[in-house]
Amino acid sequence: MSDSAISVLILDENKIRASIIEAGLKEAGHSQVTILSHTTGIAKEIETLDPDVIVIDLENPNRDMLEAMFQLSRSVKRPVAMFVDHSDGAALVSAVEAGVSAYIVDGLKKERVKPILDLAILRFNAFAKMERDLELAKEELAGRKLIDQAKAILMEKRGFSEEEAYTLLRKTAMNQNSKISTVAQSLITAATLLNEGD
């Protein structure tokens, strides 16, 4: 996706500061920039606008305002760059936990906006890939456990060796155009139902 194709939403109650961010983005080639100067109903507006990146600028955020923005960051599943004038260690930790991709303290300068935005996108994408990889690993592990359980059932009920049990599962999966773990789950479910009848 080219820079100009990226849509950016700026959340800033201070119109002057918002215009600094907007100018930095437009100079960097980002043409799709929207500014919102209120935070009421913001989740619905984000859903409607569907921006690729969100830039939040908080001049003097209090704890409640920061927490509201961190909650927003957790829920939107997009790169979020947050500019604040003042911060403390706890706020930084909360920002990281909330998934804020870039948390910049006292650094709102027009020429810094693009590199910070680029960094936010890169960090977000790297984190999203890690989450996907972790999810795939969990699914693979769960699938292996199901396959092992199904093999044990075939070995016990049909007297198969482990290799024969796996071969049957694999062949059945191929015939059904399905995953081996799906076939294994069906076998486990069937065996459970049959055992309940005993």
Q: What is the pLDDT of residues 16-38, one digit of tens each?
A: 888 888 888 888 888 888 888 87
Positive or negative: CA dihedral 147, 133, 50, 12? positive
Q: What is the pLDDT of residues 94-111, one digit of tens each?
A: 777 777 777 777 766 777
pTM over 0.75, yes/no: no
Residues 6+ apart with CB under 8 A from 21: 10, 12, 55, 57, 83, 108, 110, 113
- The whole-angstrom separation of Cα 54 and Cα 34 is 10
Provide the mean pLDDT of the chain.
82
Please give the residue that has the higher pLDDT: either 33 or 43. 33
- Domain residue limits, the chain: 3-108, 133-196
* Domain 133-196 is found in CATH 1.10.10.10: yes
Q: What is the pLDDT of residues 51-70, one digit of tens each?
A: 888 888 877 666 667 777 77
* Domain 3-108 is found in CATH 1.20.1290.10: no
- Helices (DSSP H) in 60-112: which residue ranges? 63-76, 89-97
What pLDDT, on the 0 to 100 scale, is given for residue 61? 67
CB 35 within 8 A of CB 79: no
- The whole-angstrom separation of Cα 63 and Cα 61 is 7
- Two tokens, residue 73: 């960051």
Neighbours of 175 (CB within 10 A): 9
3-state secondary structure of 147: helix
